[in-house]
Amino acid sequence: ETAVFQTPNYHVTQVGNEVSFNCKQTLGHDTMYWYKQDSKKLLKIMFSYNNKQLIVNETVPRRFSPQSSDKAHLNLRIKSVEPEDSAVYLCASSYWGRDTQYFGPGTRLLVL
Amino acid sequence: QQQVRQSPQSLTVWEGETAILNCSYEDSTFNYFPWYQQFPGEGPALLISISSVSDKKEDGRFTIFFNKREKKLSLHITDSQPGDSATYFCAASVNYAQGLTFGLGTRVSVFP
């Protein structure tokens, strides 16, 4: 039973375009995350966010930015995509102060 | 440098056997260790987790053994089933707000 929803499932775009991915959770959590899973299956945290603070992994390029309208939604915008941005982007959520995170199915991005 | 290491990279067992997946970590401040199961095309799903104050956690056919002194842990899957065929990720965290640090995963194949 999926409680973290992501759209689209798959997106193909060209270098330099702007893309935006959506994430919604129905678990009542107050903290959300974005992870990047590369071609070697390595998962790396990009952002964690709740209404109190945004924590950014310092290795994340500035063209990436999270956007939140409320605690149930956290979108990811990429301003000008690069070929190395091709990956699966996974959204997750948890309660603030709790370690257990629940993941969505991911959005696969292919940059041509 | 990989903060969380997993071995083996892949593992094949017969139905009914016990699969043993290993994980080690560098940062002694890590205090929470979840294992996630991921099927192709899906997001990771939390399987079982342990905190650093425990040395064993059991949930059905899945058991985590934790050795804090050696900074090692292992996941045992007893009575392996073909449906257990998936990639298993060991993860660690020291601060929930900074997200999880993942290993590269172990791909498990269970043959009937």
CATH number reported for the structural domain that contains residue B49 in this entry: 2.60.40.10
The per-residue pLDDT for B20 is: 98
Residue B1 has pLDDT above 70, yes or no: no
The full set of domain ranges for chain A reads 4-111
Per residue in A81-98, pLDDT (tens digit) is: 999 999 999 999 998 877
**3-class state of residue B97 by DSSP:** helix
Chain B positions touching A43 (Cβ under 8 A) are 44, 89, 91, 100, 102
Residue (of A86, A5, A94) closest to A40 by Cα position? A86
Mean pLDDT across chain B, nearest whole number? 94
Chain A positions touching B91 (Cβ under 8 A) are 43
As a whole-number percent, the residues of chain A with pLDDT over 70 amount to 97
Paired tokens of B64: 């985590």
Q: Which residue of B has its CA nearest to A106?
A: B43
Which whole number is the average pLDDT over A28-55? 88
A49 CA: distance to closest CA in chain B (Å): 8
Which whole number is the average pLDDT over B43-53? 93
Q: Which domain holds residue B17?
A: 4-111
CB atoms within 10 A of CB A50: 21
Q: Which of A1-10, A25-34, B75-84 has the lowest mean pLDDT?
A: A1-10
CB atoms within 10 A of CB A24: 19
Of the partner residues B46, B99, B104, the one whose CB lies closest to the CB of residue A33: B99
- The pLDDT confidence band at residue A1, using thresholds 50, 70 and 90, is low
Chain A positions touching B98 (Cβ under 8 A) are 45, 48, 55
Which whole number is the average pLDDT over A27-44? 92
Contact A90 B43 (CB under 8 A): yes
Contact in structure between A57 and A45 (CB atoms under 8 Å): yes
B102 touches chain A (CB under 8 A): yes
Domain count, chain B: 1
> Which of the following CATH numbers is that of domain A4-111: 1.20.1260.10, 3.60.15.10, 3.30.980.10, 2.60.40.10?
2.60.40.10
Look at phi and psi of residue A84 and say left if phi exceeds 0, alpha if psi is from -120 to 50, else beta.
Answer: alpha
Residue A2 has pLDDT above 70, yes or no: no
